[in-house]
Amino acid sequence: MRLFGKKIKPSQNAFAVVTGAGSGIGRSFALELAKRGGTVVCSDIDLDAAKETVALIEELGAKAFAVKCDVGNAKQVEKLAEQAEQLMQHPTTLVINNAGVGLGGKFDEMTLDDWKWVANVNLWGVVHGCHYFVPKFKQLGRGAIINVASAASYTAAPEMTAYNVTKAGVRALSETLSAELRKHNIKVNVLCPTLVPTNIIKNGKVPHKGLLDYALTNLAFTTSDKVAKLTLDRLDKDQLYTIPQIDAKLFWLMKRTAPNLYAKFLGTSYRLMK
């Protein structure tokens, strides 16, 4: 990305909005952006959590603002886009559509309300973020978007149908926008991690919570801080995908090179595990 002939990195000195910034990966993004000279609007459905992130950023000597926003509510996201500009006294240059919730369980045991709940946050939340920020970026003549999907967008792990569908949607949205917005000087990156130790299991609707939370805390190959740093670096290098961990990369390779074999492997592993 160039401004007056100078190459600029979207993660440096950004005027950024991060959704779901009160915890986990969102908080790590907000802190890393502040370390890179940015001003950050930390939005979350949980205002107190967003305020905690702001306090951590202020300790670093950077500027941040807490805003309550439910990403599933279009009107609130529209307001967030307006408010961000006023608070930062500068147009937003980067939006990170990160807020998300976890949902697990067998397909036939999931209610339609469960589907609507997870789709409203994980998919519509990202659609709302892109919908209200893209016109502003076009007007500014530049901008950047990071959408937080998941390796679940391609792994198709059983007992995660609705979550997988929302994340596949986020990946497709990001891939399409990357192509469509390139001519407007708007960069897109989509983050697709496997396990990252955060509060997603504690906050989500998932069976075997204790076991899954143990796996998340003890078996993850990375941390939310490392994931945030890597994703911002990938954005700066104009890369569409961030696939942080070795297992995420392996599944990505298997799925693309041998999709039918991968589906059989998945079905057999699931049957054996049960």
Question: Residues 11, 39, 98, 164: which binds ligand NAD (CB under 6 A)?
Answer: 98
CA distances from 203 to 54, 170, 187, 206 (A): 21, 20, 31, 9
Nearest of 64, 54, 59, 55 to residue 15 by alpha carbon: 64
d(CA 88, CA 64): 8
Q: Is 25 in the site for ligand NAD (CB under 6 A)?
A: yes
Q: Is the dihedral of CA 213, 214, 216, 217 positive or negative?
A: positive
Q: Does 193 bind ligand NAD (CB under 6 A)?
A: yes
Which of the residues are catalytic?
A: 163
Asked if residue 32 binds ligand NAD (CB under 6 A), the reply is no
Backbone phi, psi, residue 53, to 5° = -65, -40
Pairing of strands 64-68, 39-44: parallel
Q: Does 198 bind ligand NAD (CB under 6 A)?
A: yes
- The C-alpha atoms of residue 55 and residue 61 are separated, in whole angstroms, by 10
**95 touching ligand NAD, by CB under 6 A:** no
199 binds ligand NAD per the rule CB under 6 A: yes
Applying the rule CB under 6 A, the residues between 239 and 268 that interact with ligand NAD are none
Q: How far is the CB of 1 from ligand NAD (least distance, A)?
A: 25
For residue 91, the minimal CB distance to ligand NAD (Å) is: 22
User: Going by DSSP bridges, is the β-strand pair 94-97/15-19 parallel, antiparallel, or unpaired?
Assistant: parallel
Interaction of residue 144 with ligand NAD, rule CB under 6 A: no
Residue range at the interface with ligand NAD (CB under 6 A); choices 3-11, 14-22, 58-66, 174-182: 14-22
Residues 101-130 that bind ligand NAD (CB under 6 A): 101, 121, 125
For residue 200, state whether it binds ligand NAD (rule: CB under 6 A).
yes
Please select the residue that binds ligand NAD; options are 96, 130, 148, 186, rule is CB under 6 A.
148
Tokens of 80: 């967030």
HSE-CB at 174 with a 13 A cutoff on CA atoms is 31
Contact 44, 97 (CB under 8 A): no
Footprint of ligand NAD on this chain (CB under 6 A)? Answer: 19-20, 22-26, 44-46, 49, 69-72, 98-101, 121, 125, 148, 150, 193, 195-196, 198-200, 203, 216
